[in-house]
Amino acid sequence: MQLGVHSPAPNDPELVSSALGGAGHAFSHLMGRHAPHLRRVIAKRLRNPEDVLDVLQDTRLAIWRALGSYDAGRPFEAWVTSIALNKCRDWGRRQLVRRRVLLQLQEEIAIQAGHLHAQSPEKLIIERERVHALRRALDELPQQFRQPLLLTALRELSQADAGRALRLTPKAIENRVRRARGRLSQALLASA
């Protein structure tokens, strides 16, 4: 090797091999190299910048977990792109489930409200407005607070189960649910 001449940067398969061999910097280098592309792929499918960051993090974790299955004969960028697209689809399915659960909750609240109160048009309009205010407040919650709240309150998961689903500690779930409820209370009071 000549002095003053830098060795060429390792290619993706070499970095994958190094990362699998325990060189943590190799995976960081791989992700640094491909993160801008992955961010663009994800951002084209998701509108909310916080959601983009969440899915990017999920993608990074999925890449790390699947690194041993990477075929060095295939372009690494195509492989990580397919993982990112799968994570976007997963996110979309979770959003669809949440929307359906929220819609069902709204309908149940409206039905219960109609049975508990006299069916006067004024009371129905007030209850409908409360449901809409709740939906707006939930939609405005940052994803990091909304997910734990929906899992524990609507799906009735324990904090430990919600933590496993979101890869968080039960204490983190507890704190996020408490903050979510506080934000919801503030938003509902402001809309009243």
Q: Which pLDDT score, from 0 to 100, does residue 6 have?
A: 57
Q: Which pLDDT score, from 0 to 100, does residue 120 have?
A: 66
Per residue in 87-108, pLDDT tens? Answer: 999 888 877 777 777 777 777 6
Residues 6+ away with beta carbon under 8 Å from 145 = 176, 177, 179, 180, 183
Q: Which pLDDT score, from 0 to 100, does residue 82 have?
A: 95
Q: Which pLDDT score, from 0 to 100, does residue 21 have?
A: 92
Q: In order of start, what are the domains of the chain with their CATH numbers?
A: 12-91 (1.10.1740.10), 93-191 (1.10.10.10)
Q: Which pLDDT score, from 0 to 100, does residue 140 have?
A: 84
Q: Which pLDDT score, from 0 to 100, does residue 90 have?
A: 86
Q: Which pLDDT score, from 0 to 100, does residue 1 have?
A: 34
Are 100 and 90 in contact by the 8 Å Cβ rule? The answer is: no
Full-model pTM = 0.54
Low-confidence ranges of the chain (pLDDT < 50): 1-4
Q: Which pLDDT score, from 0 to 100, does residue 4 have?
A: 44
Q: Which pLDDT score, from 0 to 100, does residue 189 have?
A: 76
Q: Report the alpha-carbon angle 176-177-178, nearest 5.
A: 90
Are 51 and 143 in contact by the 8 Å Cβ rule? The answer is: yes
Task: State the DSSP code for 6.
Answer: P
Q: Please tell me the total number of residues recorded for the chain in this structure.
A: 192
